[in-house]
């Protein structure tokens, strides 16, 4: 008796083939085997589709910044923390530092995505984002995956005075301060001072091409300034306010 793995005409071994390579005869197969083959292929295809769907809806891996390592290279991760630098904007990218209690990492958003952000993160904002980790030697950074995967929370500003800022610990605090604009000048960015019995430096981030974003004001105007307090210059430095908004009075 010739088995199912041999040609019934010439007796050559055919295995699972449908035709004999020796004589060309068609190998008869039980209907159950044909059905099993169709089911196997179907299960495989639907299995792959299911994996793709699950991958697309599965929550992203949340990770502390300090725990990012070379094993995360090219991994998609979710981080949260505070914007610890003034964002740097060019025609091709937006870069800023995010810090949490465990460490810091550079975040990059490239063109054209960075032009599609609803809001540009500001120094002092709290953010949550999803991006891909990239290692280049010992240096690593995260590239934002999508504008829809960046969430920004801006703390409310507290009302205070220049004197209070200069005598207290306001590092990283968003404040609203009243005073007079003096010494307004354009260098690599716009700078000024706010005077009200004491003076504090004002820094207008360099990604702002002009002061139009802040409204219509001039040197000598009495205004309310909203922004985040930052100690600039290390030892021998000074307090400054990284400006978000200027409200003429």
**What is the average per-residue pLDDT within 68-90?**
92
Give the pTM: 0.70
Per-residue pLDDT band for 2 (boundaries 50, 70, 90) equals: very low
Q: What pLDDT digit, counting tens, does each position of 159-177 carry?
A: 999 999 998 889 899 999 9
How many whole angstroms separate alpha carbon 203 and alpha carbon 46? 57
pLDDT of 11 higher than 80: no
Q: What pLDDT digit, counting tens, does each position of 102-126 carry?
A: 999 999 999 888 888 888 899 999 9
Task: For the chain, give the mean pLDDT.
Answer: 82
Given a contact cutoff of 8 angstroms between Cβ atoms, the answer to whether 150 and 132 are in contact is no
| Helical H segments across the chain, by residue range | 31-57, 162-167
Comparing 226 with 14, which gets the higher pLDDT?
226
Phi then psi for residue 82, to 5 deg, are -105, 140
Q: What pLDDT, on the 0 to 100 scale, is given for residue 1?
A: 43
* Domains of the chain from N-terminus onward: 61-153 (2.40.50.140), 158-248 (2.40.50.140)
- CA angle 127-105-141, nearest 5°? 110
């Amino acid at each position: 008796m010739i088995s199912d793995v041999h040609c019934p005409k010439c007796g050559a071994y055919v295995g699972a083939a449908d035709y004999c390579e020796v004589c060309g005869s068609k190998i008869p197969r039980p209907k159950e085997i044909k059905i099993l083959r169709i089911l196997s292929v179907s299960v495989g295809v639907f299995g792959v589709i299911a994996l793709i769907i699950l991958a697309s809806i599965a929550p992203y891996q949340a990770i502390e910044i300090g725990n990012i390592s070379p094993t995360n290279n090219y991994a998609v991760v979710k981080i949260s923390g505070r914007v610890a630098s003034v964002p740097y904007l060019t025609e091709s990218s937006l870069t800023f530092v995010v810090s949490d209690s465990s460490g810091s990492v550079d975040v990059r958003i490239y063109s054209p995505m960075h032009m599609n952000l609803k809001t540009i993160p500001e120094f002092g904002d709290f953010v949550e984002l999803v991006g891909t980790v990239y290692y280049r030697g010992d240096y690593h950074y995260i590239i934002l995956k999508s504008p829809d995967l960046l969430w920004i929370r801006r703390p409310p500003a507290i009302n205070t005075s220049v004197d209070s800022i200069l005598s207290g610990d306001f590092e990283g605090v968003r404040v609203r301060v009243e005073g007079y604009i003096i010494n307004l000048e354009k260098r690599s960015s716009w700078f000024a001072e706010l005077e009200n019995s004491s003076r504090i430096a004002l820094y207008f981030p360099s990604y702002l091409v002009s002061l139009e974003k802040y409204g219509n004001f001039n040197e000598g105007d009495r205004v309310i300034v909203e922004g985040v307090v930052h100690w600039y210059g290390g030892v021998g430095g000074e307090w400054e306010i990284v400006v978000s908004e200027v409200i003429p009075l």
